[in-house]
Structure 1
Amino acid sequence: MKLLKPILIALLFSAGTTYAESQPKRQQVDGYFLQSVGNLKVTALFDGELGLPRSDLLGISSKKANQLFEENFVPVDEHNQIVTDFSAYLVQTPTQNILIDAGTAKCFGPSLGHVPENLKKAGVQPEQIDTILITHAHPDHLCGITLDGKMVYPNAKVYLAKEDVDYWTSAKNEAKATNFFKPLFKMTRDALKPYQQAGRLVAFTTASFKVPNVELISTHGHTEGHSSYLVDGQNGQKFLGLGDVVHYTAVQFPYPEASYKPDTNSQGAIAVRKNIFEQAYLHQWWIGAAHVAFPGIGHIGKKNQTYQWIATQYRPQK
C-alpha cells in the first residue's frame, strides 16, 4: 500500500496536467451586441478600454466619488484609474446602415481601435455603411473613420457639427490650445481629410441637418458642437446615440452635476446632462452611451429623485 500511494499521486497529477493542457485557450466573446429597437437593429461595437483619471471628475468630493466607484464595483487599472469602455453603434433601419461614432483607429494606443473588426464579426462590411454620425470631434469618436490616410468607410457620408469642424481644424485654435488638447487638432484634420477631398464630409448646422429617420439633438458642452442623434424605430421606439454626455457612470447618473475636466463648457455640459436624462426618462428612449460599460445600451431610470442607468438584458435575436 505504501508503494502504491506515490504511484497514485503521480497518476493523478499526470491526469490533471494532461486535462489542463488539452483545454483550448478561450478568450472573451466577440465585441458586439445586438439589440432590437422597434424596426431598428442596433449593434453595439466595442472599440476597447482605457483608464480615466479620478482627478478628471470635478464637482463632487473625491471621497464621495470613490465611495460610488467601490459600491458599484467599478474596475480600476494598474494606475488606479477608472477602467472605461469605448463603444460605437451601428443602427440599421430598413433602408440605412448608420454608424454613430467610429472609434479610435490608432490614435489612442493598442487597447483601442477595434470597431472595424467587430463590425465585420457582426456580419457587416465597412463598404456597406452609408451614413456616419459623429457626436463630436474627439479622436476616440472620429479617428476611426480613417486608417493610414485612407477612408475606412468609402461609401459613407460623414456628418459632424460645423462648430466642431471649424474649431478642431483651426490652426489659430491649435496654437492657443493646452498641451493636452494640441495633438487632437492634427488627429481631426487627418481623419477628416480623405472625406473632405471626396466631398463626403457634411459639416452641418442645426438648421441644415437632414438625415432620414434621424433627429438631431444639440448637446453642446463637452465640445463646441457636441451632438446626439435620435433614430426613429417606429411605434414609439427610439434609439439615442448619446455620445459623451456621460463618462463616469457610477457618479454622473446619481450626480449629474459632477463634470469631466476636458469638457469645453462644464456648466453647459451639466445642463445638457440633466436635460437629456430627464427627456430620455420621460420618453423611455433606448440609449447607446459610448463610455458606459459595454454594450452601453439601456434606459435611464429614476430612483429617489436621482437618475440611474438600467442596462439592457441579453435576449436571443430572431
Structure 2
Amino acid sequence: MNIRFTTLGFALALAAATSAQAAAPFVKSQAPGVFRMMLGDFEITAVSDGTLDLPVDKLLKENQPGQVAKALQHNHLHLPLETSVNAYLINTGTKLVMVDTGAASVFGPTAGRLLSNLAATGYKPEQVDEIYITHRHGDHIGGLTVDGKPVFPNAVVRLDKRDADYLSAAPAAGKGPDGVQLAAKPYLDSGRVKPFDGATDLVPGVRAQPAYGHTPGHTIYVVESKGRKIVFGGDSMHVASVQFPDPTVTISFDSDSSKAMPERQKLYADAAAGGYYLAFTHVSFPGIGHVRPDGKGYTWIPVNYTRLP
C-alpha cells in the first residue's frame, strides 16, 4: 500500500466532509409579502408594505389597568408591537383596484415595501385602474408617491369627501403641506382624485360604506362576487390581540372614538353573523380572516392557505 497516497486521500475526504458541513450564511430577508385568494370570480391579493413598531400600551385606551400588557403576553407578543401594514388588490376581471397604498417613507424604513412586493404579485403599478383609500392617514395614503412622483400613473384615487377635503386644505399658518397632502398632490394636480359622499357603488361588485369615527371620512369597502363577500375594514382594527376580545378598546389615533367604537362593533357583529371575510391593514399579514363570537368579543380565524391553479 502507498502510504503517501492513502494519507492524501484521507485528507481530501476530510476536507470535502468539512466543506459539506459548513454552515450556510443567513439570508436575513423575508420572502415576498404576497398572498392570493379567489372570491367568486374576483382575485384578491394581499400585499405587505412592511411593519411598524408601535407602543400600543400608550396608544390604546384600556378599560382596565394592564389590559393591553396582559393581552399581548397571552398571545406571546411584546412591546413595542411589530404591526403589519397591508394593502390589497382586487382584480374584478375588468378593473384592477388597490385598497390603500401603504406608508412609503412617511413612517421610516421598516415600511415602504409595497412596490417591491407588488412586483412579486405579477402586476405593475401602471396596471392599477383605481385606488380606494380607507382614510387619510399616512400609512394608508403615503404610498401614492415616491420622491414627489406618482407611483400609479394611470389610477384614479377615490375616498370619502370628508377626508378628501383635508388633502387640498390650506396648511396651518407657518407650516407647509404635511406628508399626506404631499403624497396626494400629483393626483390632485392632474384631476385624478375623485371624492365620493358616503355610501357609493364604485365598480361592479365593489361599494364604499361609511364607517366614520377613526377619521371624519373613514370608509370600509365591501366586495362581493358569486355570493362570496369580503370587507376591507381599514383601521377598524389596530391590535388584534386586544380589540377582538374587547372591541370597546379605542386608540388615540381616532378623531372621534365615540363614533369609531360602535362602527367597529357593528362590523364585527355583521361579519360574524354573515360568515364573510374581513381584511385589515394592521392585522398580521395577510390580514384576512373570519371572526367568531367569543363571550363579549370575538376570536380571529386567519384565512386558510389555499393553492391556486
TM-score between the two structures when normalised by the length of structure 2: 0.89
Q: What SS does the aligned partner of 2:217 have?
A: coil
Q: CA deviation at 1:192?
A: 1.2
1:81 alignment counterpart: 80
Distance in 1, Cα, partners of 2:198 & 2:211: 11
1:63 alignment counterpart: 66
Tell me the C-alpha RMSD between the 2 structures: 2.3
Residues 132 and 158 in structure 2, CA contact (< 8 A), matched pair in contact too: yes
Matches within 5 A, 1:1-318: 15=17, 19-22=21-24, 25=27, 27-53=29-55, 54-74=57-77, 76=78, 80-171=79-170, 174=172, 186-206=178-198, 210-234=202-226, 236-318=227-309
Kindly tell me the number of residue pairs found equivalent between the two proteins: 297
What residue ranges of structure 2 are gaps of 5+ in the alignment?
1-9
Distance in 2, Cα, partners of 1:175 & 1:250: 40
Distance in 2, Cα, partners of 1:255 & 1:13: 60
Distance in 2, Cα, partners of 1:260 & 1:66: 15
Q: CA deviation at 1:18?
A: 5.3
Distance in 2, Cα, partners of 1:215 & 1:208: 6
Q: CA deviation at 1:25?
A: 3.1
Judged with a 3 Å threshold, the aligned counterparts in structure 2 of structure 1 residues 16 and 171 are, in CA distance, closer, same or farther, namely farther
State the structure with more CA Rg.
2
TM-score between the two structures when normalised by the length of structure 1: 0.87
Judged with a 3 Å threshold, the aligned counterparts in structure 2 of structure 1 residues 13 and 292 are, in CA distance, closer, same or farther, namely farther
Q: CA deviation at 1:119?
A: 1.1
What amino acid sits opposite 1:227 in the alignment?
T
Judged with a 3 Å threshold, the aligned counterparts in structure 2 of structure 1 residues 171 and 313 are, in CA distance, closer, same or farther, namely same
Judged with a 3 Å threshold, the aligned counterparts in structure 2 of structure 1 residues 13 and 304 are, in CA distance, closer, same or farther, namely farther
Distance in 2, Cα, partners of 1:158 & 1:166: 13
The share of aligned pairs that are identical, in percent, is: 36
What residue ranges of structure 1 are gaps of 5+ in the alignment?
1-7, 177-181
Q: What SS does the aligned partner of 2:203 have?
A: coil
Residues 234 and 281 in structure 2, CA contact (< 8 A), matched pair in contact too: yes
What amino acid sits opposite 2:280 in the alignment?
A
Residues 86 and 287 in structure 2, CA contact (< 8 A), matched pair in contact too: yes
Q: CA deviation at 1:212?
A: 2.6
Distance in 2, Cα, partners of 1:208 & 1:301: 28
Q: What SS does the aligned partner of 1:193 have?
A: helix
Per-residue CA deviation, residues 162-200 of structure 1 (Å, 9 max, x unaligned), is: 10121354336x459xxxxx89x5112211111112211
1:3 alignment counterpart: none
Q: CA deviation at 1:26?
A: 6.2
Distance in 2, Cα, partners of 1:169 & 1:190: 10
Q: CA deviation at 1:306?
A: 2.1
